Amino acid sequence: MALDGGTSRQFTRTLMRAELLDAETERALAIAWRDHRDEAALHRLVTAYMRLAISMASKYRKYGAPVNDLIQEAGLGLMKAAEKFDPDRGVRFSTYAMWWVKASIQDFVMRNWSMVRTGSTGSQKALFFNLRRVEAQLQREAEEMGETLDGHQLRERVAQQIGVSLADVEMMTGRLSGGDMSLNARQSGEDEGREWIETLMDDAPGADETVAERRDQTTLRGWLAEALSRLTEREQMIVRARKLSDAPRTLDSLGEELNLSKERVRQIEAVALGKMRRTLEGQGAGLYALLG
């Protein structure tokens, strides 16, 4: 359920005042949920650590996502953590849950950053959330050394620092350089300007191309019909079944139907295609692909 306005603020304040769990209580609640599916124990466990989720969610406000949505995603991360948590491993739930909460928030941010998918691999995620920080760090270090880095050199060092490919760095740099732009936006920013969508090339064939193609197809069909008409009835049947059908028949199946051997059917087919090629000579090469 989406939260907004006063309800959201009141809900957040309530969660921030939730109880603090000691290690024993936390473990007991985790065991109750794992072994007995005790929903009251799950609710208490998750509620106790929503302050952690809210704190982590607030760190991602700079990416433009609504804080309420970030908090809800953080809550989902807590639920996933509770489902996967093993209290017998001796690790505190807060430590384990932190990674699930962070992953849930980051996935949400990346899904909603752009209509174009920003990235899904581990290296792309690392770039998305660390690119600007690492760039700034490398530039500071270069300045201290008296160096001046151009764009390519900077991207190379970022790739080396984060441990990803240069191609990934260049892709992410482009994705983060600007947000999405509507194709219905006007080029000049004025009411009378053209929309960007009007500048896109239409790949659909024009009216003249469509008419010419239809005419050519009609001519080709006429030539093919004439060539077929000069074959015997059996030859026509074999050619249609083998070359002009959406689901071509095999030599074996035709041999069984005609009470002929597979080799004999192949011979009849070869003779029929030879006759058709001779008929079509001088008409153009367009139909030869059908007879190959």
For 34-69, the pLDDT digits (tens) are: 999 999 999 999 999 998 888 888 888 888 788 889
- Give the 3-state DSSP-derived string for 123-158, with helices as H, strands as E and coil as C: HHHHHHHHHHHHHHHHHHHHHHCCCCCCHHHHHHHH
Give mean pLDDT, residues 146-153: 86
What is the Cα–Cα distance from 125 to 4, expressed in whole angstroms?
Answer: 29
Q: What does the pLDDT look like over 82-132, one tens digit per residue?
A: 999 999 988 899 889 998 999 899 888 888 765 445 555 667 777 777 778
pLDDT score at 25: 93
Residues 6+ apart with CB under 8 A from 176: 128, 131, 132
